[in-house]
Structure 1
């Protein structure tokens, strides 16, 4: 049976039950004033006064008069309950028709449709609003994945196209220096490998398939800065580290990758000379925070920096040698650790990045 029919029968059944209880109550009330059998002859006072005696019906007579009327009332209640229940059920289930339509459209790929259920806020309105929010997030996610696939294809096609061009030159020009060709092919191949590894890391962080354990962000920051210190010296950038012990829960490898990416970006996208990178860790109630701040050119907008293959204010290739996934990986790792990533442009140029993660619970005593 359909839900509408079930609700109709439920309404009608409840109405019949209420009618039976009401009629039974009336019957019990009447029985208190009705004798079991007819009373005797009228008294002498009644005969002498000439006042006719009133006839009091017995229970059998009352039942014969009451039962047909009660049956008629119950029949009316049944018909009324079925008709009224059918109309009420249809009215109550009308929002489900709009929700069902939206689900069917989403199932065939139409994610732009929204229910936008009018009326007061009730259970159906909350369900419709929740479904609209889900569709909006799903549409944004699909659009992001499509952009990511297109950008990844473009980035991967570039080294392949360069390799093919170099090989064509070598085939058409036998006198070309093979050492130079090999070196250029090696550089192109290295970039393709770096890009592929970054894509795999991004996918791994998005799946959240990693073991969680306590990780001290201050030690992670020290390891990352020590690893990138030669690169900082090469670019004339000074790295400063400070902060207290800040223990989060997560993957040590992923959190090290997150910190390394932030420090690496801060070094590369800095001032041409005398740049500074400041790495700090701090502890807040129920959270720990890692901040990486660097000097650099003024940034008019930072909203697109966390998208894959975005560099600066657009998809512009630079000589920094990055693959355009640094901050996208940072965002994915932060979300996988249930944290919050905040990017803020500095007033005098550069970027301030804060990663806020849930703090590790205090160790329990033995």
Structure 2
């Protein structure tokens, strides 16, 4: 929430207690002033013993006069100090309670927040101070937690659905084989395909969890070498789909997990090959090094991608087209999600740009070594 500048809680408490003490001091001075006016030389009053303290001060017997004044003022001063003590405690208690009331509101909101009610917000009104900043920070944390929990729930539901599909297909094929004679070779091939898809999906989920939790060791890595290795591995797939694959650039050294970064580049190149034109498509991989980091840029031709679809491509189980599942390559919908997770785990950034002529430009920036 945008707030106007205001006094801090420390300053408010300081001013409140200082004002209370000043009020108490004025009361003490007033009482002393009244006593001095009553028992001083101009307002001399004879004590019960018949001694005039004011006249004694005039005559020079100061010590005796002071003793008499203390004897007269001490009971009254004690009563006044006791009153000031009670007044200070009660006043301080009330003022502190008013100042700390926002903290009680924050505490109640924290206690009422559970997994089922992450949508609750404090939204503490008033000008900016320490308590309002704390409330705003807590609201921001709740917002992030709610988004994270929602994302995890959606991911779990999608993962369950994706895993259920190959298992259901396998169960159907087994029942067909039990029901009667069938082409065993065809059944075995189909079971192998379905089982491979289930394994790929499971490995993708494990890799996604591993990168999200940063469970890896780091070492110096040259992204240009990883790009060449990924291109060499995927060259048969590119030739099969009649896609020209080109790798250019300069050494781009960073620090991270070599296995995860290789998977990142491989997924990018694989997606660029699969989501391409039916014939005469191109994929260009370029690496570069700058003062502020290293860059991997993968550009491919292909069908036009709507701009509104770009943010969803980084979510798990989201596919730009259905062709990846209906043709020879059966994607599991985790390619760019894994790439995005690996980039975040390495403190990098990922940008997606739709080419006007069709296809995508994916740019990854990572910290330099």
Give TM-score, length-normalised by structure 2.
0.80
1: CA distance, partners of 2:108 / 2:160: 35
Structure 1 residue 15: Cα displacement? 4.4
Q: 1:312 aligns with which of 320, 327, 352?
A: 320
Contact map agreement 2:223 2:254 (CA 8 A) in 1: yes
Contact map agreement 1:212 1:251 (CA 8 A) in 2: yes
Find the counterpart in structure 1 of residue 179 from structure 2: 172
Find the counterpart in structure 1 of residue 354 from structure 2: 345
1:120 aligns with 2:117: no
Structure 1 residue 315: Cα displacement? 12
2: CA distance, partners of 1:321 / 1:130: 44
Find the counterpart in structure 2 of residue 39 from structure 1: none
2: CA distance, partners of 1:196 / 1:154: 13
Q: 1:184 aligns with which of 168, 185, 190?
A: 190
1:201 aligns with 2:210: no
Find the counterpart in structure 2 of residue 47 from structure 1: none
- Provide, for residues 52-100 of structure 1, a one-character-per-residue CA deviation record: whole Å limited to 9, x for no partner: x956652212323443443344223212212221211111221122222
Contact map agreement 1:241 1:278 (CA 8 A) in 2: yes
Find the counterpart in structure 1 of residue 343 from structure 2: 334
- Unmatched tracts of structure 1, length 5 or more: 1-6, 35-52, 361-366
2: CA distance, partners of 1:268 / 1:77: 84
Higher helix share goes to which structure?
2
Q: Secondary structure at the match of 2:126?
A: coil
Contact map agreement 2:274 2:324 (CA 8 A) in 1: no
Runs (4 or more) in structure 1 with deviation over 6 Å come to 313-316
- Provide, for residues 112-170 of structure 1, a one-character-per-residue CA deviation record: whole Å limited to 9, x for no partner: 01111111111111111111111111111111111111111111111111111111112
Change (3 A) 1:183 1:314: closer
Q: Secondary structure at the match of 2:109?
A: helix
Query: What are the equivalent positions in structure 2 for 1:246-285 lying under 5 Å apart?
Result: 246-285=252-291
Contact map agreement 2:275 2:324 (CA 8 A) in 1: no
Q: Secondary structure at the match of 1:91?
A: helix
2: CA distance, partners of 1:315 / 1:235: 12
Contact map agreement 1:19 1:74 (CA 8 A) in 2: no
2: CA distance, partners of 1:337 / 1:60: 81
Report the more deviating stretch, 137-146 or 91-100. 91-100
Length, aligned pairs only: 323
Change (3 A) 1:136 1:313: farther
Change (3 A) 1:259 1:156: same
Aligned-CA RMSD value: 2.8
Query: What are the equivalent positions in structure 2 for 1:43-192 lying under 5 Å apart?
Result: 54=58, 58-173=65-180, 175-192=181-198
Give TM-score, length-normalised by structure 1.
0.81
Contact map agreement 1:11 1:82 (CA 8 A) in 2: no
2: CA distance, partners of 1:344 / 1:67: 86
Structure 1 residue 196: Cα displacement? 0.9
2: CA distance, partners of 1:154 / 1:334: 26
2: CA distance, partners of 1:176 / 1:59: 122
Contact map agreement 2:277 2:302 (CA 8 A) in 1: yes
Contact map agreement 2:343 2:366 (CA 8 A) in 1: yes
Find the counterpart in structure 1 of residue 46 from structure 2: none
